[in-house]
Amino acid sequence: MTLLSVTDISTGYGPSIVNRNVSLTLDAREVITILGPNGAGKSTLLRTIVGLVKPRGGSVIVDGENLTGKAPDVLAKRGVVLVPEGRRIFADMTVEENLRLGAYARRDTETIEQDVLTMEAFFPILAVKRQQKGGSLSGGQQQMLAIARGLMARPRILLLDEPSLGLSPLLVKEIQAIILDIGARFGAAVLLVEQNAGLALSVATRGYLMQNGRIVTSGPISELKDMTLMRELYLGGMAEQAS
């Protein structure tokens, strides 16, 4: 079942066009990835989907409902949640307070309490650090907090923007396991933007390759790994390492 359908989306800042007629689909509980070099327009696309950037054309359909250009809080209430690049947790708030902020649009107080415990069980380090300031956490711990905060919104679609950025190889493996478990544990589909090709190729079933704001190819991960175009534009030697 198609949960998210992005069709011919074009976006920009001022006179500059960033995304040009971009289309993609995401099914329920599926993990897909958008690959491409820096400056390809990947993050802008995610920000457009969640309403942070207004599109200049095209449509964003979530479970049959046209949400094109709607405000971020409307998208969040429909279950479309972004975990932005750079974590962006609240450094002066505790881990617990950061988690509760993820549920700001919810009114089911008793369920929120249970979900805090669920996140602490899924990310055990957050239980240990519950009353510590977010800014005191390591980079990897902050990334886990950012993902947990996103999950606190009970998303149907979780958009992850560069979750492995700046993390050690060991922590990247932890993030990999977390992404693979999100669908089964929380029932959410995942749209992943990631520079780490090994991570992206290991968790996604399908992928889209962007260059200069356009989708230049797409398909199952098994096919993308073997595409000469993908190796030339983005992966280089990493394709061999990831296969």
* Interval 217-241: pLDDT, tens: 999 998 888 776 666 655 554 433 4
* Sign of the Cα pseudo-torsion (120, 124, 127, 131, in order): negative
Q: What is the pLDDT of residue 198?
A: 85
Element containing residue 90 per DSSP (H, E): none
Tokens matching residue 176: 């990999």
Neighbouring C-beta atoms of residue 200, cutoff 10 Å = 27
106 pLDDT band, cuts 50/70/90, is confident
Residues in the chain: 243
Q: How does strand 57-62 pair with strand 2-13?
A: antiparallel
Q: What is the pLDDT of residue 227?
A: 75
Secondary structure of residue 201 in the 3-state scheme: helix
Mean pLDDT taken over the chain: 90
Q: Superfamily for 2-85+155-242?
A: P-loop containing nucleotide triphosphate hydrolases (3.40.50.300)
Percent of the chain with pLDDT over 90: 77
* Interval 125-146: pLDDT, tens: 999 999 999 999 999 999 999 9
- Angle (CA) 15-21-25 rounded to 5° is 135
Q: Which residues contact 26 (CB under 8 A, 6 or more apart)?
A: 2, 3, 4, 32, 157, 189, 191
Q: What is the pLDDT of residue 26?
A: 98
Q: What is the pLDDT of residue 143?
A: 93
* Interval 8-31: pLDDT, tens: 999 999 889 999 999 999 999 999
Cα diameter, the chain: 52
Tokens matching residue 55: 């599109």
Neighbouring C-beta atoms of residue 92, cutoff 10 Å = 9
